[in-house]
């Protein structure tokens, strides 16, 4: 049970997300390995010195004099056998000696920050793969399970491996999908699809209060994941939280693009967002629409906000950006160091030829960027221990990824390459020159303390890009999607916010000096912020949609269940 909970928590913070990593080509991996080989050959004396030090560690291990021991927090080596069984103790010490030797050698290399990140990243992938826990012979927990189960764990593990080869395209399963069914125990909030186009569905959720605020809220989800992350379960539903607090709630559901729809680019997605906003305004009678978005949806919403500002439109009210990076740097995450100009061009060309990047290929790529969390954990759990992967709603959603159109991928890479959001009218995107300094909407920006995909200090940079005078930044204590899905029912929830109201400091480090820790979920804080900017209250509508935008089917709609 404890292992299952651990796996749930780890993978829930390892969500696929659009970013510069979609531009990593296989040549970038080859180049990173070549860097290590080049440095090995460039200074033989240095290489020999580190090999000699590693050899000395090996001698100590063979003579029983080594004091190498795994980090007590390393979950791979929690079994007492690693400490008390001479065979396993020596095994982990050999592994730690290799780890120590490689890290010492890397520290001695003359590399710049980008090259060092690249070398560290590749080295860690190699070290993770060499761990003795990844094999039956080197995993005492798996061996005990084999004996205790009379061999059944091995049979079940082989069955799991066979099922993954046949039904999961060779990728180890991260979730048991069987307990979940959309509309029954996932995405259960009541609502209606009130607009359906080739690209998206617009869902209007039913109010649960007698009165609602006059200014509605539209959520723009990422294009790589399905929209029901906003409505996973009643206790983890942002949608339910909004409607229960009087917010008229609408969510876009993107269609999963096929090869023929690979031409859909940022201009098309922004046009769909604008169309959805106009529909929301018409349905509610409001002149403005508040918008929230996460991850790549936040980048899309930011392009939309820029375009509306360029058109001098007052349609957008407030803007909430969750775990979204608008000003990326190559050193934000080690994996980002792999991205090269040539690699991005190759990735573009391959995507354009295929029309779309398939969801399975995206998931596979992301998994190998974090193999210890997203591959080896599950190899051990599913194959060596013969256990089922956890049945966890966030993992179910994460495994239900969508394709990415080639044109949209190219546009996201252009935003990354040109740092378009940091420029003022220099980069064209979605038929206008991007300039966030013209966007004056009140802003609410969220980051996650342990977010490795969109590091919180990178999300903080967004506070400096807009022309808004009212900007609030909140730091949730969790990782990527868990930072968002941190409801009041979570007893461990906490967040950080600036003590004194006023202009935010220029840097995340300066902001951190003036924050206070608040116990509990950030959801109540956000909903109060939103309600204060949602106008007056009025009677809740008796029906969903209106005469022009009539309901055409219940939430969560058809596009989330459509097979491609």
Task: Show which residues are catalytic.
Answer: 295
Measured between alpha carbons, how far is 421 from 437 in angstroms, rounded to an integer?
Answer: 9
Which DSSP helix (H) or strand (E) runs through 196? strand 191-196
Asked if residue 203 lies in contact with residue 191, where contact means CB atoms within 8 angstroms, the answer is: yes
Give the residue among 546, 548, 543 at the shortest CA–CA distance from 206: 543
In the block, residue with structure tokens 């808004």 = 468
260: exposed, middle or buried (Cβ count in 10 Å: 0-12, 13-18, 19+): exposed
CA–CA distance, 444 with 253 (Å, rounded to integer)? 22
> CA 49 to CA 101: how far, in whole Å?
10
Q: Hey, CA dihedral for 444, 450, 452, 458, is it positive or negative?
A: positive
* 51 membership: H or E segment, kind and range: helix 44-62
Question: Residue 386: CA atoms inside 13 Å, Cβ hemisphere, count?
Answer: 20
Nearest partner of 528 among 338, 247, 269, 208, judged by Cα? 247
Q: DSSP secondary structure string, 199-229?
A: SEEEEEEPP-SSEEESS-EEEE--SSS-GGG
- Tell me the backbone φ, ψ of residue 193, rounded to 5 degrees: -75, 120
DSSP code at position 186: B
Kindly write down the DSSP assignment for every residue of 260-327, as one continuous string.
GGTT--HHHHHHHHHHHHHHHHHHHT-S-EEEEEETHHHHHHHHHHHHHHHTT---EEEEEEES--SS
Residue-wise DSSP of 411-454: HHHHHHHHTGGGSEEEEEETTEEEEGGG----EEEEEETT-SSS
Q: How far is CA 22 from the centre of its chain?
A: 13
Please give the Cα distance from 278 to 273 (Å, whole number).
Answer: 9
| Nearest-10 crossing angle of helices 113-130, 86-108 | 170
Q: Is the link from the previous residue into 556 a cis peptide, with omega within 30 of 0?
A: yes
For the chain, what is the radius of gyration of the CA atoms? 25
């Amino acid at each position: 049970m404890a292992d299952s909970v651990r796996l749930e928590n780890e993978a829930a913070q390892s969500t696929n997300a659009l970013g510069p990593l979609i531009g990593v080509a296989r040549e970038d991996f080859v180049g990173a390995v070549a860097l290590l080989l080049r440095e090995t050959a460039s200074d033989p004396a240095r290489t020999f010195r580190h090999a000699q030090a590693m050899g000395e560690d090996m001698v100590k291990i063979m003579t029983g004099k080594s004091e190498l021991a795994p980090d007590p927090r390393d979950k791979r080596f929690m079994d007492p056998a690693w400490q008390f069984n001479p065979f396993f103790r020596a095994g982990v010490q050999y592994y730690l000696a290799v780890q120590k030797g490689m890290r010492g050698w890397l520290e001695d290399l003359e590399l710049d920050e980008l090259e060092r990140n690249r070398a560290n990243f590749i080295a860690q992938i190699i070290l993770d793969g060499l761990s003795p826990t990844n094999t039956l012979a080197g995993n005492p927990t798996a061996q005990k399970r084999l004996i205790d189960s009379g061999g059944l764990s091995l049979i079940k593990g082989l069955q799991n491996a066979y099922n993954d080869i046949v039904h999961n395209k060779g990728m180890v399963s991260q979730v048991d999908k069987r307990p979940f069914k959309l509309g029954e125990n996932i995405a259960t909030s009541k609502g209606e699809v009130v607009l359906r186009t080739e690209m998206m569905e617009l869902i209007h959720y039913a109010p649960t209060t007698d009165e609602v605020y006059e200014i509605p809220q539209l959520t723009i989800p990422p294009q790589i994941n399905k929209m029901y992350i906003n409505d996973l379960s009643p206790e983890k539903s942002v949608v339910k939280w909004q409607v229960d607090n009087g917010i008229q709630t609408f969510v876009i559901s993107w269609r999963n693009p096929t090869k023929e729809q690979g031409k859909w680019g940022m201009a098309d997605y922004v046009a769909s967002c604008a169309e959805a906003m106009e529909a929301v305004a018409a349905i509610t009678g409001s002149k403005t629409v508040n918008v929230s978005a996460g991850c790549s949806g936040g980048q899309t919403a930011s392009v939309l906000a820029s375009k509306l500002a360029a058109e001098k439109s007052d349609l957008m009210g407030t803007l909430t950006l969750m775990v979204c990076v608008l000003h990326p740097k190559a050193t934000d995450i080690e994996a980002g160091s792999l991205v090269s100009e040539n690699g991005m061009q190759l990735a573009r060309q391959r995507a354009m030829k295929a029309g779309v990047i398939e969801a399975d290929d995206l998931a596979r790529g992301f998994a190998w960027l974090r193999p210890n969390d997203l591959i080896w954990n599950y190899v051990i759990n599913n194959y060596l221990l013969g256990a089922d992967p956890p049945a966890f709603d966030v993992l179910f959603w994460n495994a239900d990824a969508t394709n990415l159109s080639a044109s949209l991928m190219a546009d996201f890479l252009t935003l990354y390459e040109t740092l378009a959001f940091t420029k003022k009218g220099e980069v064209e995107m979605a038929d206008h020159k991007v300039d966030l300094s013209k966007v004056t909407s009140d802003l609410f920006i969220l980051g996650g303390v342990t977010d490795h995909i969109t590091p919180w200090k990178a999300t903080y940079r967004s506070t400096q890009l807009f022309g808004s005078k009212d900007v609030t930044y909140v730091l949730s204590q969790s990782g990527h999607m868990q930072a968002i899905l941190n409801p009041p029912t979570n007893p461990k929830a906490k967040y950080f916010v600036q003590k004194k109201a006023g202009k935010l400091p220029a840097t995340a480090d300066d902001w951190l000096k003036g924050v206070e820790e608040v116990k509990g979920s950030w959801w109540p804080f956000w909903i109060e912020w939103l309600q204060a900017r949602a106008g007056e209250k009025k009677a809740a509508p008796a029906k969903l949609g209106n005469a022009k935008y009539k309901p055409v089917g219940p939430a969560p709609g058809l596009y989330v269940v459509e097979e491609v």
